[in-house]
Amino acid sequence: MNLLYSCQKVAELVSQGMDEPLGRLDRLRLRMHISMCDNCRNVGQQMLRVRELSAHLFAPDSALDDIDRP
């Protein structure tokens, strides 16, 4: 059994982890991989930032609500 996930698997788990809780083993293996892989750490941070920005963009009090729509 390989203890480390592939970068592709890590990206899938990061995305999945934003929507639902991950199991203990998945969280551990994900943390191990991210602690050693700068690329996956960056991808994870970017995914979180996109999620934050999109949540802000579509929030009920968004600045877009002030724009007159046809």
Most distant CA pair in the chain: distance in Å?
A: 58
- Distance, CA of 58 to CA of 52 (rounded, Å): 10
Spatial contact of 18 and 44, defined as CB atoms under 8 Å apart: no
pLDDT of residue 69: 46
User: What is the rounded average pLDDT of the residues 5-22?
Assistant: 93
User: Token pair for residue 40?
Assistant: 């996956």
Residue-wise pLDDT for 22-31, tens only, equals 999 999 999 9
pLDDT of residue 57: 82
Three-state SS at 36: helix
Spatial contact of 21 and 27, defined as CB atoms under 8 Å apart: no
pLDDT of residue 60: 75
